[in-house]
Structure 1
Amino acid sequence: MSKPRKLIHNTPEEEAAIARGIAADPGTFEPTNEQFAQMKRRSGRPKLANPKVAVTVHYDVDVVECFKASGEGWQTLGME
Structure 2
Amino acid sequence: MTKAKTIDEFQPGRGYTKEDWDEVSDNPEWTEEDFKLARPFAEVFPDLAASIARGRGRPSLESPKKQVTLRLDADLIARYKASGKGWQSRINDDLRKVWGL
What's the TM-score once normalised by structure 1's chain length? 0.40
Larger Cα-atom Rg: 2
Instruction: Give the structure-2-normalised TM-score.
Output: 0.35
